[in-house]
Amino acid sequence: MKILLVDDEQKFINMLAKRLALRGIEADTAYTGEDALKKASDTVYDVAVLDIKMPGISGIQLKKKLCSLHTNLKFIFVTGHGAVERSEDEDSEKDIYLSKPLDIGFLIETIEELTQAG
């Protein structure tokens, strides 16, 4: 199982990647949407964890672009807002929205549910 973590908060996703690695989940990090697209073009991921508000390409826009590359890719959105801004896509109901700060156990459970449902 391979995860793509995308957030402009570098320390946040670096830590998250390290913690996932400790739990046996391989995770790549990208700090911008463009970086994420570049990595996704080289590697096939099972789940993408995206921040909604990012400089340049937003999380919602990035999802659309990643979907065109990998149709089976599952998405988890992370946001600093208390209330979650949902995407207006038809598939948005399948997306998972989590708010910061994240509980690692809950994140891993969510990832596993998504991949098993897959």
Partner 1 sequence: MLKIFPDFLKSLRPEFHQHRKNVHLDSFFTFTNYRYLWFMSIFILALTALSPICIATLIYYQLIETSVDSDLNHRTKQLTAAAKSAVTFFMEERLNALTFTVNENGYEQLADNARLSEILNNLKLGFGGVTDLSVLDAGGNQVAYAGPFNLEGKNYKNQSWFEQSLKKMNYISEVFTGYRGVPHIIIAVRSAKTDGSFFILRATLDTERLMQTLSSYKTGDYADIFLVNHEGVLQTPSMHYGSIFTPTNLIFPTDSDEIEVREISLKGKYIISGHSFISRDLTSTPFVLMVLKEKAGMLKFWQDMSFKFNWIMGVSVIIIVIVITFASTFMVNKLYRADRAKAETMMQMEQSQQLASIGQLAAGVAHEINNPLAVINQTAGYMKDLFTFKDQTRNDDELAEYIDSILDAVDRCGTITRQLLGFVRQFDVKIKKVNLQKLISQVLSFHKKEAEYRRIHVTVSIPDIFPDLETDSSKLQQVLVNLINNAFQAVEEGNCLDIIASQIDTNTIELVIHDTGCGIPEENLKKIHEPFFSTKQNGSGTGLGLSITYGLIKKLGGRISVQSTEGVGTSFTIILPVKIKEGRIA
11 binds partner 1 (CB under 8 A): yes
Give least dist CB 101 to partner 1, A.
4
104 binds partner 1 (CB under 8 A): yes
Q: Select from 36, 27, 7 the least CA-distant residue to 98.
A: 7
Q: Is residue 110 within 8 Å of residue 76, measured between CB atoms?
A: yes
Residues in a beta bridge with 51: 78
24 binds partner 1 (CB under 8 A): no
58 binds partner 1 (CB under 8 A): yes
Q: Select from 62, 45, 47, 44 the least CA-distant residue to 8.
A: 62
- Site residues, partner 1 (CB under 8 A): 9, 11-12, 15-16, 18-19, 22, 53-56, 58, 80-82, 99-102, 104
